[in-house]
Each structure stands twice: as C-alpha cells, then as structure tokens.
Structure 1
Amino acid sequence: MGYDWNDLPSELRADIESQTGAVTGTEPPTAGTVSDFAATLETTGGQVFCKAVREDNSKAWMHRLESVVNTVLPASVAPRMLWKVESAGWLALGFEHAPGRHADLSPGSADLPLVARTLEQLTDALTPAPPLRAFSLADRWAGEDFWRKLGDQHRDRLDPWTVERLDTLILAEREAPDLIDGKTLVHTDLTGPNLLVDGGTVRVIDWAFPAPGAAWADTAYMVIRLIEAGHTPQDAERWASSVSMWREASPWSVTTFGVILTGLWTLRAAEAPGAPWNGLSAHGLAWLRHRLR
C-alpha cells in the first residue's frame, strides 16, 4: 500500500519543501506506480510531480537509474527532473509537472499517429544510446529459457498450438538476444499510462527500465499494447509499419522479440496466475499466432 504525503518522514517532507516551497495539496496519479509514494504536489512554488521510494525497497535502483537517464532525454518528449532528495532512508525525485492525459491506444484513436511520431523522435534523439550504466536488451535476456521451463514444468498450462510449436519457440528465444541488440536507448515499458498527450504533443514518462537495443524495439512493445487495447495483430502491425524503424527491421528478429517477451509473461502467468500476466501472455500469444501462422 502506498504512502500519503503526511505518512512520509517529517525530515523528508521538509527537505522536499526546501526544493518546492510549502506543499498545500497532493493529487495521486491515475495509473499504477512502483513507487512507495507518487503524487502531483501543489506547492507555493507551483506544481511538481514527485515520486519517492524507501531505500530498502528492492526497486529503489529503478529510481536511481531514472534519475541518471532523465539528464540525457530530450526535453521535448520527457518531463525534466528538477531535483533529487535523499533523506530519512528515502529517495525522492521531483519532475516538472507534465499536463495532459494518458494516451488512448484503442482502434481509431487520434493519438496513434502522435505516438508513432514520438517513437521516431525518441529514436533520432537517443541513437546512439547515451553512455549509461544500463544493461542492454541483449544482456537482459541472454541465457533465458522461458519456453523450455514452460515445456518442462508447466506443459499442462499450454494450449495445443503452443505445445506443437515449443521447439520453434525455444529456438527463437535462444536467437533473440543477438537479434534485438542495437545502439538505441529504448524505454522498454511503453504503455498508454506512460504516454501523456497534450494537444498535439506526447511526452514519455517513467524511464525506470531503459536499455540499449534495436531501434524498433519500442515499436514492437507497442504492438502488444495495441492488441491489448483491442486491435487485431494485423491492424497493430499495420500501425507499426508507419514507423520507419519497424519497416527496416528483420521480420525474424521481430518474431524472436515477440517470442522471448511472451515467454517471460507466460512463465510468470504459470507461476503466479492472475492479472496482469494472464492478459499479457494472451496478447503476446495472439501476436505469435499471427507471426508464426
């Protein structure tokens, strides 16, 4: 359960207010967060978005990484970090308040061309990837064997179509790390809630898990999110084809990406059934059925 502003240590609140002015109100985010505390702070110095995490939280490293990554992101597509406070066993980050609403990824949405344009802008700005201490996508997934584990330990949870193609899935998973490697810093968690639309502008938030990888990787992540939002796999890929990096990608490389990501989600769904893994696994499998038909 997350903390409210008044639940935070008084020393931490005082140190934050030394950066912002007195806090007169808070508004929690409308989407989920891994932070122990997250809110837009209404202060005598104006609005600021704050996320904070206890130092003993196992995900505190994600906040530290984001504090470094933010310094190299283009201001046009990512809110600027204004300050960092370490106090009372907590790490707090303050960002400029980004107006807007979460992107609508449903079929026919007017946001979809804006998202495609934003992907192009990110790739232009973040290729080559800035020198950060972040594992590449290739390193992140090297040596993983999600599908072999599923076949050995959870075969009874797999549908016949998947069982029949286990050998292909295992092979693709082994090839994936080399094929998804690249020189672009990619977000790796693009979702509707992580895209803020304000008029004709889209800003990308929550850079907690970026990695150097293939320039088309974020577009591939978005394909599954579009399927989640109600698109058919064919329509999701038709949208993706409006992005130049996608058009340049090797079809088999994209397939191996879908295989290893869906394998991760399917294994998690088998080991811890329930949302969100069941849904993500189902959407990933729908995409693989389209690509491996």
Structure 2
Amino acid sequence: MTTTRTAFGDLPTSVHTAIEEHTGPLLKTETIAAGFNSEISARVHSTAGTCFIKGLRTDHPRAWTQRREAEVNPYLRGIAPALLWHLEAEGWHLLAFEALDGHHADYSPGSPDLPKVVATLGRLGETPCPQIELRHAEQWLLGYVTNPAQAQLFAGPALLHTDLNNENVLVDDERALLVDWAWATRGAAWLDAGYWAIWLMAAGGHTPESAEQWAARIPAWLTCPREGIDAFAHANANMWEEIAGPDPDPWTKRMLDAARSWSAYRSAL
C-alpha cells in the first residue's frame, strides 16, 4: 500500500517550530521521492547541518512503524543511519536521521555495490536481536506456506530487515547501509539473504541460480536447511500472488515474476 505524500512545507507551523528546536533555523528542504512508507520524506538543511526527516500522521494505520524504527535504531550502528532525534507534534510523528551522501544500490549483475551489500548483511547477521516488540517471521509467513508446520523453519532469534528493495539500501564509496526498518522482524538468520535473492532477480539479469550464489556469500545462508529454502521460496511466491491480485502494476509484476521464477527453480531441483 503506497502512502500519500505531504510536502514538508505543508506541515503545520507548530511542527516546523518543534523541528527547529532540534535543528536551528531551517535553510532549505528537498523532497525525497523514493520510498513507500512515509507521508513526509525530505532532506532538511539547517544552521546545524543536514538531516533526513521522515514521518507519518499519528493516526495513520502504520504509525506504529515509526516507533518501531526509533526503538530498533540504537542496535544498528554501522548497519543503518543513526537516528538523531524524534518528536510528536500537532498530530505528526517525525524521525530525523543522519543524512547520507550516496546512491541507491545497483543490484544488476557485476555491480560493485553487491559485495558491499553482502558485507552489511553479514554484519546484520552478527547483530544480537534486541528484546523489543517485533514481528515474528514464522507468524508473518504462516498464511503462505503449503503446510503450517513449514512456518517453523522461519523461526529464530535473529534481527531481520525483510524489505531489501534497492531503494532501502544506500551505498557510498565504502559501505552499504540499510534504511527504512518499518518491517523489522525476528526470525531465522538466513531469511534476509533469501529476501535479497528475490530482489536481485527482480532487478533483472540474475537467474535464480546466480541470485542464490550471491545469497551464499552471506554466512547465515549456509545455516539454512534445503527444506527451509524451498518453503521460503514457495511462501514468497504465494505472498506476491496475493499482493499482485488480478491486475498488478509493473513494479509488482516484476516482483511476482521473480518470486515465481525462484519457486519454480526450487521445485525443479
């Protein structure tokens, strides 16, 4: 579900005042078009420097995702941009992150970004999962498996991102960082490598086999049983079938085709 955007300048004056208590006087704002989960998304320049601000109305159905991001961020040093501050004012909940100079990850075959993503997902796999409220992978995917018992293959103690859209991965000369932790989840450590494989195929140029070869560079992937990969591939195909519906837009159709392709590949092994 895409969220309608609100221009930063259209926020109530009282919200701008609350922001300036953290930033000092605002000098310039730049609207960010990428991303689906925020009503406000802007790069904000002020006398104190530059930050990235995202937000939702406090009565938005997904307002809880803002609080989830604020809760999980302290545990993501070196994996995600640091949260600088957050506030609630005049019916808005806003998060301010350090601004990054970089580009959205290029997932095409041969891209120099791919090893950086591997390194970051490897670090994430070594990060202890915080004791905060999170989705559980086995519960989230239960409705998409062939046999309910298969969902337990996705259970585990690891912290997962689960939404590895290339626009949620920012890359600079040295590293890749993961943004938009709205769907942070607790589950088996290898699942993010599996999610990434689908995004690689959807980007174009990657076969299921080559996508799995990239996934296999992430240490956690080597811990998953074959039956777990099979069940996960089939569950994602079912999930994207549901999301796509009878008349998907081109973006969703690309994801559906990738998930179907992977599921068929796993079935043929």
* 1:182 positional shift: 0.7
Map of 2:201 onto structure 1 = 227
Map of 2:32 onto structure 1 = 29
Q: TM-score, normalised by structure 2?
A: 0.94
Map of 1:282 onto structure 2 = 257
* 1:30 positional shift: 4.4
CA distance in 2, matches of 1:176, 1:71: 33
CA distance in 2, matches of 1:116, 1:275: 27
Residue identity opposite 2:265 in structure 1: H
Are residues 1:71 and 2:47 paired? no
Give 1:176's match in structure 2, choosing from 134, 142, 150. Answer: 150
Q: TM-score, normalised by structure 1?
A: 0.86
Residue identity opposite 1:193 in structure 2: E
Are residues 1:112 and 2:87 paired? no
Map of 1:57 onto structure 2 = 60
* 1:135 positional shift: 2.2
Distance 1:101 1:240, change over 3 A: same
**104-113 or 276-285, which deviates more:** 276-285
SS of aligned partner of 2:196 = helix
SS of aligned partner of 1:83 = strand
Asked if the contact 2:198/2:258 (under 8 Å) is kept, the reply is yes
CA distance in 2, matches of 1:36, 1:267: 25
RMSD: 1.4
SS of aligned partner of 1:278 = helix
Asked if the contact 1:262/1:280 (under 8 Å) is kept, the reply is no
Map of 1:100 onto structure 2 = 102
**25-34 or 181-190, which deviates more:** 25-34
Residue identity opposite 1:89 in structure 2: G
Deviations along 1:97-125, one digit per CA (max 9) or x if unpaired, are 12211111001111111111111111112
5 Å-filtered alignment, 1:1-293, equals: 1-73=4-76, 75-126=77-128, 129-142=129-142, 144=143, 146=144, 170-171=146-147, 174-230=148-204, 231-270=206-245, 273-293=248-268
Map of 1:162 onto structure 2 = none
* 1:72 positional shift: 1.8
Q: Percent identity?
A: 34
CA distance in 1, matches of 2:176, 2:51: 18
Asked if the contact 1:223/1:233 (under 8 Å) is kept, the reply is yes
Q: How many residues align?
A: 264
Q: Structure 1: 5+ residue runs without aligned partners?
A: 147-168
CA distance in 1, matches of 2:74, 2:216: 31
Distance 1:30 1:2, change over 3 A: closer
CA distance in 1, matches of 2:27, 2:112: 36
Deviations along 1:100-153, one digit per CA (max 9) or x if unpaired, are 111110011111111111111111123xx11011121112233x1x4xxxxxxx
SS of aligned partner of 1:50 = strand
CA distance in 1, matches of 2:38, 2:82: 18
CA distance in 1, matches of 2:165, 2:141: 21
Asked if the contact 2:44/2:53 (under 8 Å) is kept, the reply is yes
Larger gyration radius, structure 1 or structure 2: 1
SS of aligned partner of 2:101 = coil
CA distance in 2, matches of 1:52, 1:243: 32
CA distance in 2, matches of 1:2, 1:19: 23
